[in-house]
Amino acid sequence: MKVGLIVDSACDLPHDFIRKHGIFILPLTAKIDNQTFIDDHNPDTTEDFYRQGLLGKGHHAETEAFSAAQIRDLFLEKVVPNYDIAICETVDRSRSQIYSNASEAMNMVMAHAKAVREKAGVEGNFTMRVIDSGQLFAGQGLLAAYTISLLGKGLSKNALRHEVEKFAQNVWICVVPNDLSYIRERARRRGDKSVSGLVAFLGKALNITPIIWGKGVVAKPAAKTRSKDAAVEKVMNYAVTRVKAGLLAPVVSLSCGMSWEEIEALPGLDRLREVCKEHNVELLLSRMGITSSIYIGPGSVCLSLAAEEHEFEG
C-alpha cells in the first residue's frame, strides 16, 4: 500500500527533502505587480523570484489558494493514480482558504477516484485525509517531516491523523521579521490588526527587531533586540538550548527569506549545526518559498521545533 504526503506551498522544506520523500506540493498562486507565479516549490522559479527582487519596496504582492475545482483536477490527475492513501496537510485554516478548498476537493475526488484508477489500470481503493496543520512555514515543514517518519509504521489513516494532530500541539515557532512595517501592511490587507502601526513605526525608527515566539500560529513577542543579527543569534541560541534539553522529534526546521550566501552568514547557524550533529538531530535548512516570503517579508527567518512546555531563552 503506497501512502503519499501532500503539503501546500506555504510549507517550507528543503527541495532535496521534498524530492527524496516524494512529497507532493499543492501549489498556490502568487501575484506580484503584473506577474503571476504558480508556487509549487520549483527551485528555478523560486530563484528567479528572488533574483528579480519582486518583494522590494513598492511591489504589491498577494497569494491566492487554488480553487476546490483546481485542486480536484490536480488530485485526480497526479495523486489518485499514484497513491492508495493520501494525507494532505495544509497551512493553518485561519490564514488561508487552502484547508477549506482541499476538503471540498477531497469529497469530489472520492466520487471519481474508482473510475480514474480503473482507467489507469490501478487496483485497489483510494482514500485520503485533509488535516489542518495549525502551523505556518517552518512549523508546517517540521510537521511534514514528522509525518514522513510515521508513514513506514503501518498506521491506519485515522491513527496517523491522531498522531499528527497530537504532535502538532507541541510544535513551537520563532519568527524574526526583517521589516515590521511590511508585516503590518500585509496584515492590514487581511484585516488582521495584531501588528499595530505604532509598533511598526517604532521598529523602523529605533531599529528594534522583535522575536515572535509561541505554539503554531498563537505567537507573541518574546524578546526585542537592537538589530536583526542579534535577534537571529538569540533564536539560534534558543534552538541550541532546546536541542540539548531534548526534543520530541529529532528535527529542527529553519527557513530563511534570503540568498544562500546570506543564510550561511547568519550568526549562530554554525553552532546550531554542530549541536544538532552532536545530538543526532536533523537540521532542515531551506530557503523560504515564494508564499512564505510574501507573507513574512524578504529577509525574515523562521525556526520551528517540537518540545515540552518551556519558556523562551535566547
Tens of pLDDT, residue by residue over 177-205, are 988 777 777 666 666 655 555 555 556 65
Question: Over the stretch 101-138, which tens digit does the pLDDT of each residue have?
Answer: 999 999 999 999 999 999 999 999 999 999 999 999 99
Contact 40, 63 (CB under 8 A): no
DSSP line for 16-62: HHHHHTTPEEE-EEEEETTEEEEES--HHHHHHHHHTTTTSTT--EE
Output the CATH code of domain 3-168.
Answer: 3.40.50.10170
Instruction: Return the higher-pLDDT residue of 105 and 52.
Output: 105
Quick check: 97 pLDDT over 80?
yes
The confidence score (pLDDT) of residue 37 equals: 83
User: What pLDDT does 247 receive?
Assistant: 98
Question: What does the pLDDT average to over 260-287?
Answer: 97
Residue 58: pLDDT over 60: no
pLDDT at 48: 86
For the stretch 142-179, pLDDT in tens is: 999 999 999 988 888 889 989 999 999 999 999 999 88
Reduce the DSSP state of residue 210 to 3 states and report it.
strand
Where in the chain are all domains bearing CATH 3.40.50.10170? 3-168
Percent of the chain predicted with pLDDT > 90: 67
Q: Which pLDDT belongs to residue 200?
A: 58
Q: Against a cut of 0.85, is the pTM above it?
A: yes
3 state DSSP class of 4: strand
Q: Tell me, what's the pLDDT at 201? A: 57
The CATH class, in words, for 171-306 is: alpha beta
CATH 3.30.1180.10 in the chain: give the residue spans: 171-306
- Quote the strand ranges of 40-143, DSSP E: 61-65, 85-90, 127-132
Between the two ends of the chain, the Cα-to-Cα distance in Å is: 45
Residue 238's pLDDT is what?
A: 98
